[in-house]
């Protein structure tokens, strides 16, 4: 059961990584379309793209914590069994 939970968490983390990469590409495209580096105007598209990354980061951290918890429980159960 723990193995399935770890696999599920890792799969979710990989999916979130892909979403984060897509969001980073959108940010890069928006930044490139703005053009002139002297013009530091922040567009709403750029703000939206950055804000969209927040849930992805939170989900990634949550999945990492789930893996840590599953590993700690498994280690504790093995210690008790030994």
pTM, rounded to two decimals: 0.52
The arithmetic mean of pLDDT across residues 19-47, rounded, is: 71
Determine the length of the chain.
Answer: 82
Q: Report how many domains make up the chain.
A: 1
Distance CA 23, CA 40 (A): 20
- Which tens digits make up the pLDDT trace of 5-24? 777 878 888 888 888 888 87
Question: Can you state the angle between helices 44-81 and 2-34, rounded to 10 degrees?
Answer: 160
Boundaries of domain holding 59: 2-81
Residue that the structure tokens 């530091």 belong to: 40
Q: At 36, is the pLDDT very low, low, confident or very high (cuts 50, 70, 90)? A: low
Angle at 37 between CA 21 and CA 53, to 5 degrees: 25
Q: Where are the alpha helices (DSSP H) in 1-82?
A: 2-34, 44-81
37 pLDDT more than 80: no
């Amino acid at each position: 059961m723990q193995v399935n939970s770890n696999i599920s968490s890792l799969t979710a983390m990989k999916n979130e990584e892909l979403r984060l990469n897509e969001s980073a590409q959108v940010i890069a495209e928006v930044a490139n379309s703005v053009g002139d580096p002297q013009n530091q105007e922040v567009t709403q598209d750029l703000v939206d793209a950055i804000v969209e990354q927040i849930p992805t980061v939170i989900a990634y951290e949550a999945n990492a914590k789930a893996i840590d918890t599953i590993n700690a429980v498994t280690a504790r159960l093995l210690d008790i069994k030994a």
